[in-house]
């Protein structure tokens, strides 16, 4: 029995494969980053070896403590540098395809989403900014029954409370408007600060 050609087999698998949700492309800087990290590591090891030799050959207590202090400080700096190298060892570029999500996952299977927005001082954090953040999150392109937005006002400001009472009234117009017109910028402040399509509906909402 003859086996199907490899080209036909690959094409069949590609046709039956689910649509991509994201792609990942390694960065060209990976090799240079790793080479730099290797050279830098050798330099650090040489520096520590030098410190060790100096500590062992110290003849006075003052020189010993000075060298020990330098050794500890270099050790801390080396740890900070090493802990920041993880994302440089294999940098990648990702591209997402959210339009394919409905083809792979059912809407009923999407996880619940809880968003916490914290504020404290209505003078340092103007309520209008917090309100815009909450409204933009509530207008996400996500099932409304699966998203919950919580606002924590540590300052207990009556001004912030009044702002959100007004925002609740505004949301009754803003959220349906965003979903109906597929608005990309769902932050009201950002939307009306840029060029938007003039219509009687947008003017009423503004």
Give 204 or 27, the one with higher predicted confidence: 27
Same domain, 61 and 110: no
Same domain, 116 and 50: no
Q: What does the pLDDT read at residue 180? A: 83
Across residues 98-127, what is the average pLDDT? 86
**Is position 96 annotated in a ligand binding site?**
no
Same domain, 140 and 174: yes
Q: What does the pLDDT read at residue 6? A: 46
Across residues 57-64, what is the average pLDDT? 88
Same domain, 60 and 123: no
Same domain, 121 and 79: no
Evaluate whether residue 12 is within a structural domain: no
Structural domain count of the chain: 2
List the single range of 44-48, 51-55, 186-190 with lowest mean pLDDT: 186-190
Same domain, 74 and 110: no
Evaluate whether residue 149 is within a structural domain: yes
Q: What's the mean per-residue pLDDT of the chain? A: 84
Q: Contact 146/112 with Cβ under 8 angstroms? A: yes
Across residues 140-149, what is the average pLDDT? 86
Distance CA 170, CA 164 (A): 9
**Is position 124 annotated in a ligand binding site?**
yes
Evaluate whether residue 8 is within a structural domain: no
Q: What does the pLDDT read at residue 107? A: 80
Same domain, 178 and 119: yes
Evaluate whether residue 203 is within a structural domain: no
Evaluate whether residue 60 is within a structural domain: yes
Same domain, 77 and 134: no
Which one of 37, 52, 86 terminates a domain? 86
Across residues 183-195, what is the average pLDDT? 80
Q: Is the pLDDT of residue 9 over 50?
A: no
Which one of 86, 115, 137 terminates a domain? 86
Range of the domain at 53: 22-86
Sequence-distant (6+) residues with CB within 8 A of 27 are 90, 91, 92, 93
Evaluate whether residue 2 is within a structural domain: no
**Is position 197 annotated in a ligand binding site?**
no
Q: Contact 102/18 with Cβ under 8 angstroms? A: no
Same domain, 73 and 112: no
Which one of 33, 55, 86 terminates a domain? 86
Query: What are the phi and psi torsion angles at 59 (to 5°)?
Result: -105, -15
Same domain, 112 and 186: yes
Same domain, 118 and 188: yes
**Confidence band for 4, pLDDT divided at 50, 70 and 90:** low
Q: Contact 119/125 with Cβ under 8 angstroms? A: yes
List, for residues 151-178, the tens digit of each pLDDT value.
999 888 898 999 999 988 998 888 888 8
Alpha helix (H) residue ranges in the chain:
6-16, 30-56, 61-83, 101-104, 127-138, 158-181, 188-193, 200-205
Evaluate whether residue 1 is within a structural domain: no
């Amino acid at each position: 029995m003859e086996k199907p050609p490899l080209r036909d087999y690959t094409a069949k698998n590609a046709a039956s494969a689910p649509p991509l949700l994201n792609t990942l492309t390694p960065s060209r800087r990976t090799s240079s980053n790793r080479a730099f990290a290797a050279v830098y590591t050798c330099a650090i090891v040489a520096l520590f070896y030098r410190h060790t030799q100096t500590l062992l050959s110290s003849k006075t207590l003052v020189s010993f403590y000075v060298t020990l202090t330098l050794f500890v400080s270099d050790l801390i700096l080396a740890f900070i540098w090493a802990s920041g190298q993880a994302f440089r060892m294999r940098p990648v570029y990702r591209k997402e395809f959210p339009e394919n999500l409905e083809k792979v996952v059912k809407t009923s299977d999407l996880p619940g989403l809880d968003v916490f927005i914290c504020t404290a001082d209505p003078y340092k954090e103007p309520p209008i900014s917090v309100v815009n953040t909450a409204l933009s999150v509530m207008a996400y392109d996500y099932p409304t029954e699966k998203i919950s937005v919580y606002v924590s006002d540590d300052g207990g400001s009556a001004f912030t409370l009044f702002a959100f009472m007004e925002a609740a009234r505004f949301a009754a117009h803003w959220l349906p408007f965003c979903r109906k017109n597929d608005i990309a910028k769902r932050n009201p402040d950002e939307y009306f600060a840029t060029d938007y399509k003039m219509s009687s509906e947008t003017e009423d909402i503004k």
